[in-house]
Chain A
Amino acid sequence: MTKGSRLRLVLRDVASGCAFASMAVSGQLPLWTLGLYGVALVAALAGKRLFARRAKLTALLLLGVAAVLAVNVTSGALNLVVAACAFAGLISAHRLLSAPDAATDGQVHLSGLLMVAGGAALSGELVYGLFLVAFSVLSSVSMALGVVEAAVPEGEPVPVRAVLRPLATGVTFAVAGAMAFFILFPRLNWNMTGPRAAPGLGPATTGFSNTVRLGGAGTIKDNPRIVLRATLSPDPGGDALNAYWVGRTYDIFDGLEWTNAGGVRREREPLLTLRPGGDNLIHQRVELLPAYGGRTLIALETPSRLGNAVANGSTGSRRTFLQELAGGEARFLEAGLSYSYEAYSLPPGGSGDTFRRLPSVEQDALLALPEALDPRVSQTAARVLNGEREPLAAAQKLAAWLQREHAYTLELSGEREDPLADFLFERKAGHCEHFATALTLMLRTQGIRARLATGFFGGERVNDGYVLRAGDAHAWTHVLVPERGFVTVDATPPAHRPSQGSRLLQRLLGLYEALESRWRNSVVDYSFRDQVDVARALVRPPKGSESTERSRLPPPRAWGAALLAGMVVYAAWRLVTRLVGRPRPHEATRFVDLVEAVLLPARLFRAEGETLEDLDARLAREGHPLAPALAPATRRYLEARFGGRPLRQGEAEQLIRALQRAVTAHVRLEAQRARAAAAEPRARAS
């Protein structure tokens, strides 16, 4: 082995080692795979290619390793991704120990790439980045040496020393340039060029309208898309929050629809104080995701202060003002794809809202009943309450009755004239809006002030925060209790308050939304501002260790994802352009294809670069028996293709049939002749 190829192999092996190390730094790989790979690497570096003789037989070892990993994965002892990474490493180890030829080199480099990708999935720390760079440099140089070696004629020395220096310089420049380009090149946001449609899984499905209309199916309850993410402080802990997140309330019901008596209360407020606060406020940092689709702010019941609102639009993020509407609704003044804001809420039970703060129109509305209210509603309420006058107790009694006597359903077809009476007395089944409306109105018939509240119910723990899904949308009742204010009473059966979607779908959706948000944050939205931040961080080193963790740089996983996506897009683009660019075959060209297919049984093929015209000429020259039959077809083809005289309707079929007949006859004749030729010697012998 020459010096050059030994150097190339050492570089290759060390590059593979770097790639393996990029996975190993995550500390997740099983110890025995580390050991196996280490032994293989040391042996390979020492030039002992143990598997050179029996590559196929030793590949069976890999099967054994795969089986062990599979058992580990199925038993739950090993993560699937980790197992895949470990297997990639062991494939590489096997290849390191095989006979070094061009194919093996390629496989080692390829498995190195796999390992680097695996490392991105497992860790993605700074150490990983270092190993990634080392791998790319070493394997580039090794590959380049391979190219040089292949170009040098057999037996001549490889000019290693001469090429190594320019190679190293080139690779260094390439790596540095690639990093600098991504980090420093002034870039526009990808979505700057035009307004984007609602991102992700199609348009948003929730959102707050100005009214709540009874009737119709509650399809939204099984929608698992995440609409809101919030981090709370103090953090209540626990997997399910089961809290009410209010958006707005309604006070006037006309028999079909809930509306509000009041109008806009305050315009353009940077900070909205809804209710007097207290010492034990719950702070929320809320993010409304694009799937939300509305402009109404959501906060834990009962919100007391909202502010620090930022709308994230297609052109970037900016602060936005808030607007207070009737029903305690707060809205963003500007539309965005997603929003973030901060909210302070009073802890449950102690609502600081006072009735007297409401305008008189709204005070009156809390007892208003629709004109055409079914008299049975009032009668039933009186019967159930049985003299109970205390508002909260009365509400709880009614809610218990509703839950007992009525079923929860999302399948409500058809528009009803009086949906409330239909729910209470006919169908005896409905969803949250029906339950809440029934409770509110029954209370009002008994002279107790109440209103409808809408928002979300639930809160599912994800990392250090909680998420709400579109299916968590909910409606409930606020009962006015003297001296306490509005108190929440929920008439909907507890099991049906949160989202009704399937768990699996929720998991998948959660995964997708997480990926999408990561993608947007790290690649799509990696913008000029982030670059400025990077530059600033370089000039002024961060003060505490906390700020170093919050790096603005996208994680290596995102880099890998961007690269992969780029490659996929490029491949798709190539495919599409090739398909689009492919000229539509001329009619005569299809005819010629038919002719050639017909000629196949007679074993007549076009030679390389030969056209039908040439074939026809050749057959005529050779005096082939099929030449006269082929001539008219060829003639017509040429006329149709180049002479501007297209084939008439049915003419192609006619010509093909004639040719087909001639070919069949010819083939039969040939077969007869062959049989005769075979029979002849036998006859002679006998």
Chain B
Amino acid sequence: MERISAELGRAVQGKEAQARLVTTCLVSGGHLLLEDVPGVGKTTLAEALARACGLSFARVQFTADLMPADILGAQIFHAQTATFQFRPGPLFRQLVLADELNRAPPRTQSALLEAMAQGQVSLDGSTHALPSPFTVVATQNPVDFSGTYPLPDSQLDRFMLRLSLGHPAPDVEAKLLATRGRAPPLDAVQTVSSPEEVDMLRTLASELRLDGTVADYVVRLARATREHGDIERGASTRAVLALGAAARTQALWEARDFVTPGDVRAVLVPCWAHRVLLRSAVQGVAARDEAAHLLEELTRKVPAPR
């Protein structure tokens, strides 16, 4: 994991924390939502992840005319054998970058989200299993909403973590300016892992010990979001499960074989900030910021097990 994260850091410089979280998401078996303004390295990050882990990669640019068949694949008529044959779409890769997910019509979005949830694609009555590990990295521009179909909250819930990269620090940016011209950033990324290794890490993470008190802590946090006055809809059960999985991977980072309340808090904001629906009318980035702020306040209010 350290290696993967280090390679990601090489591609997207100055974003070690985010690189760690991206790796966490991959190892926890979740899907990632990157929300940020264009041009901060979202796509680069996803590609670097695929390369570092040796995952097959596909990038789908979501547009308003993208149809489900474009990503899932289609039955093609073979003239020679006079049969229909399934030709897999770009989704049949281990890592799929769904760029600007909110530009596609809801139909396509839901096709993707269903595939994310089920790990398989149903087409014309036949089911096609997706490769393993299967991870979707979706990006979304939170500022420019015109001509988009914003993801409904229920769909957002399917993403395990949500990240925004933010602009790089000035010195990093200056360094980029000096070096980027020479070599594309992805060339620096080496394959340091394999899909098998990612699978192994996933198994390892899922077997970590989650003490009853920590589980109770997660549940209490969830209840606190549900009962909070400023929150319209609190964390769902899926959110609770996702937080548990992410916290397990977080514990793996710390080289522990058990989860502590600190692990839970470390991944709480990226895991839940996009899932809670606020009462206030703020939208986009501001909503995320406020949700993050509320969740941090909750971690101070809900007493951690001692």
> Which A residues are within 8 Å of any B CB, using their own CB?
585-586, 589, 592, 608-609, 611, 613-614, 617, 638-639, 641-644
Q: Which residues of B contact A641 (CB under 8 A)?
A: 211, 213, 260, 305-306
Given the contacts A613-B260, A638-B256, A608 and B211 also touching, CB distance less than 8 Å:
no
Q: Is B182 engaged at the interface, CB distance under 8 Å to the other chain? A: no
Q: Which residues of A contact B209 (CB under 8 A)?
A: 642-644
Could you list 22 examples of A-B contacts with CB < 8 Å? Answer: A589-B306, A608-B300, A609-B300, A609-B304, A611-B304, A611-B306, A613-B260, A613-B261, A613-B262, A614-B265, A638-B260, A641-B305, A642-B209, A642-B211, A642-B214, A642-B258, A642-B305, A643-B209, A643-B211, A643-B256, A643-B258, A644-B209
Complex Cα gap A72–B209 (Å): 75
B residues 289-306 near A (Cβ < 8 Å) are 299-301, 303-306
Taking a contact as CB atoms under 8 Å apart, the answer to whether A642 and B259 are in contact is yes
How far, in Å, is B122 (CB) from chain A's closest CB? 41
Q: Which residues of B contact A614 (CB under 8 A)?
A: 262, 265
Complex Cα gap A463–B214 (Å): 68
Q: Is B257 engaged at the interface, CB distance under 8 Å to the other chain? A: yes
Interface centre among A609, A641, A642 (most CB of B within 10 A): A642
Interface centre among B209, B213, B262, B301 (most CB of A within 10 A): B262
Taking a contact as CB atoms under 8 Å apart, the answer to whether B213 and A643 are in contact is no
List of 6 A-B pairs having minimum Cβ-Cβ separation, nearest first:
A609-B300, A643-B258, A613-B262, A642-B211, A589-B306, A611-B304
Chain A residues touching B, majority SS: helix
Q: Which residues of A contact B261 (CB under 8 A)?
A: 611, 613, 642
Complex Cα gap A611–B259 (Å): 14
Closest to A609 in B: B300
Cβ contacts B44-80/A at 8 Å (1 or 0 each)? 0000000000000000000000000000000000000
Taking a contact as CB atoms under 8 Å apart, the answer to whether B306 and A639 are in contact is no
How far, in Å, is B282 (CB) from chain A's closest CB? 25
Given the contacts A592-B306, A611-B306, A614-B262, A642 and B300 also touching, CB distance less than 8 Å:
no
Q: Which residues of A contact B211 (CB under 8 A)?
A: 641-644
Complex Cα gap A611–B305 (Å): 9
Q: Which residues of B contact A638 (CB under 8 A)?
A: 256, 258, 260
How far, in Å, is B163 (CB) from chain A's closest CB? 21
Q: Which residues of A contact B300 (CB under 8 A)?
A: 608-609
Taking a contact as CB atoms under 8 Å apart, the answer to whether B257 and A609 are in contact is no
Given the contacts A609-B299, A613-B260, A613-B261, A642 and B304 also touching, CB distance less than 8 Å:
no
Taking a contact as CB atoms under 8 Å apart, the answer to whether B262 and A644 are in contact is no
Complex Cα gap A611–B261 (Å): 9
Complex Cα gap A608–B301 (Å): 9
Closest to B304 in A: A611
Complex Cα gap A644–B301 (Å): 26
Taking a contact as CB atoms under 8 Å apart, the answer to whether B257 and A643 are in contact is yes
How far, in Å, is A161 (CB) from chain B's closest CB? 31
Closest to B298 in A: A609
Complex Cα gap A611–B303 (Å): 9
Cβ contacts B186-214/A at 8 Å (1 or 0 each)? 00000000000000000000000101011
Interface centre among B214, B258, B260 (most CB of A within 10 A): B260
Taking a contact as CB atoms under 8 Å apart, the answer to whether B262 and A617 are in contact is yes
With A609-B299, A639-B256 given, can you name 18 additional A-B contacts, CB distance below 8 Å? A585-B306, A586-B306, A609-B300, A611-B261, A611-B262, A611-B306, A613-B261, A614-B265, A638-B256, A639-B258, A641-B211, A642-B209, A642-B258, A642-B260, A643-B209, A643-B258, A644-B209, A644-B211
How far, in Å, is A323 (CB) from chain B's closest CB? 66
Closest to A596 in B: B306
Taking a contact as CB atoms under 8 Å apart, the answer to whether B213 and A642 are in contact is yes
How far, in Å, is B213 (CB) from chain A's closest CB? 7
B residues 252-271 near A (Cβ < 8 Å) are 256-262, 265
How far, in Å, is B67 (CB) from chain A's closest CB? 48
Complex Cα gap A614–B306 (Å): 12
How far, in Å, is A584 (CB) from chain B's closest CB? 13
